[in-house]
Amino acid sequence: MHETLVSQRLLALFFAAGVVFNFPLIALWDQEVVWFGIPLFPLALFVLWGLLIAALAWLMERAPD
pLDDT given at position 5 = 87
Q: Given a cut of 80, is residue 1 above it in pLDDT?
A: no
CB of 14 closer than 8 Å to CB of 20: no
- pTM, two decimal places: 0.82
CA 31 to chain centre: 20
Phi, psi of 61 (to 5 degrees): -100, -5
CB of 55 closer than 8 Å to CB of 13: yes
Q: Write the pLDDT tens digit of every residue in 11-36.
A: 999 999 999 999 988 999 888 999 99
Q: Given a cut of 90, is residue 2 above it in pLDDT?
A: no
